[in-house]
A and B are shown apart, each in its own frame.
Chain A
C-alpha cells in the first residue's frame, strides 16, 4: 500500500471519528430528554419514551439506517446520506444512553437523598446538587462503552453510501484486489481509535475516583 492510499484511509478514519462523536453528542442530548420522559410521572410522556427505547434497541441498526434513508425521501425530505446516517446513529445511541442514565439515577442510594432532605435542600436542589452529579458519575463507564459501540456501529453507515472508513476500505479493496490488506488496515485503525477512547475513559474514571460512592 502506498503512502497516499494510507493517507486516504487515515482521512476516512478521521471522518468515522467525526460521525461517531457527533452521534454520541446528539444521542446524549436526546437520551437525556428520553430518560427524563421515562422517569416522568405523566403516562403520556413515559409511554412514548418507552416505545422509543424499545424500538431503537430492538431493531438492528442496519434496518434502522435503511428505513431512515428510504423514509426521509418518501415523505419529501431530501437530505445527503450523511445526514440520514447521523439521524439513525444518534437515535439508536440515544435509546441506549437513555437507559444508561436511567440506571445511573436508579443507583443513587436513597439515603443520600434523605440526607439532602434533612439538610433542607428542595427537590430541585436535591436533583441538581446531589442526584444528577452522582448519577452522571455512575454512567461514565457506560458512556465510554457506548462510545466504543457506536464507533464500531458507524461502519454500517457505509451501506447507505457514506464514504467513511469501512466504505473507503471497501472501495480500495475492490479496485486493488487486496481485500486482506485494506480490511486489516481498517480493522487496525478501528482498534487503535477504540484503545484511545478506552484509555481516555479510564483516565476520566480515575479523575472521578475520589468522589466515588464510599
Chain B
C-alpha cells in the first residue's frame, strides 16, 4: 500500500487529509491487513443462511405517528427553497 492508495480512499470518503494523517493511516492499513490475514486463516464454517435473523418489514405507508417535527427538519436545511432542500448541480 502507498500514499496514493490512501489519497484514493480519501477521495472516495470525501475527506481531505494532512500529510501526517496520510502517513498514519498508511501504517494503520497494515494493521488492518494483519487482522484480515488472521481471520482468513481461521477455519470456521460459513454462516448458515437459515441464520437466527429475519427481516423486519413494515408496510410501505406514511408513518401514522407524527412524532417528528417537519419544521425542525426543514429549518435545518443548510440551503433550501420553498421548503425543499436545495442541492448543488449534479450533472
Bound pair (A, B): no
Interfacial residues, chain A to chain B (CB-CB below 8 A): none
